Amino acid sequence: MKKNIVLFSLFILPIVAYLFFASGVNSFTKLPVITPKVADFSNWKSLDGKKVSLNKKITVLGFSGSNVLDNRGNYFNLNEKIYKRYHGFEDLQFVVVAPLGSELQAQKVIDALAPFTDVSGWNFVFASPDEIKTFYNQLHLKGKLNQKLGTSYVYIVDKERNVRGRKGANKQNKDKKDEYKEGYDTFHPSELSNEMLDDFKIILYEYRAALKKNHNATKQL
């Protein structure tokens, strides 16, 4: 009996403790604000002609550039690693900003995803090149759009229109969680599965905790 207790203490207990703290990291972390209160979209229209807004939505925001079809693999990666896992969350939307004139390409991307995905949460919105540049510049990001007004990175924007990410405060620590990160590269599925998924869970936890708190406060009233 004593031997079993010793073995449990030496081997099993540390593993259980690690799993507990590893799974709880998102519960005790708040994802920093990279850029506060960014502007909403103007009267940009989506493929179905409806206005899309950043207000009161958790948004995964991307910029396709004029070569939308050339980047369809990136959207497939994002769809598989993040979208399909969370698209049932009603306050979540995926929005890709594209130049006017690329509507047919964008529709082909949606059509390619539709046979195996509920694409109701995917949105392409269209604007002029100058409008896209102005909108992107006010995000105050370190990364830049390419010559075709696109980037393989996507960004998390919360319901208050804050760009969220990692501030990289501890430069001495080589842990990836302490690196500065304003966006997530859709070209690399591993980055979506690891860094983006971790940060996305934090955002969802924040809102679920807030909803629970508000619900309890209402019950007390």
Give residue 90's pLDDT band: very low, low, confident or very high (50, 70, 90). Answer: confident
What average pLDDT does the chain have? Answer: 85
Q: Please give the Cα distance from 172 to 153 (Å, whole number).
A: 26
What CA–CA distance (Å, rounded) separates 135 from 155?
14
Range name among 47-51, 148-152, 214-218 with the lowest pLDDT average: 214-218
pLDDT at 133 over 80: yes
CA–CA gap between residue 111 and residue 175 (Å, rounded): 40
The answer to whether domain 32-167+175-220 has CATH 3.40.30.10 is: yes
The beta-carbon contacts of 137-141 under 8 Å, at least 24 apart in sequence, are: 138/38, 138/39, 139/35, 139/38, 139/163, 140/34, 140/35, 141/34, 141/35, 141/182, 141/183
**pLDDT value at position 88?**
87
User: What integer pLDDT is reported at residue 207 of this predicted model?
Assistant: 85
pLDDT of residue 12: 58
pLDDT for 209: 82
| Confidence grade of residue 20 (pLDDT, cut at 50, 70, 90) | very low
Position 59 pLDDT exceeds 80: yes
What's the rounded Cα separation, in Å, for the pair 8 and 2?
10
| Residue 24 confidence class, pLDDT cut points 50, 70, 90 | very low
**What global pTM score does this model have?**
0.82
173 or 184, which is more confident: 184
Q: Where are the domains of the chain?
A: 32-167+175-220
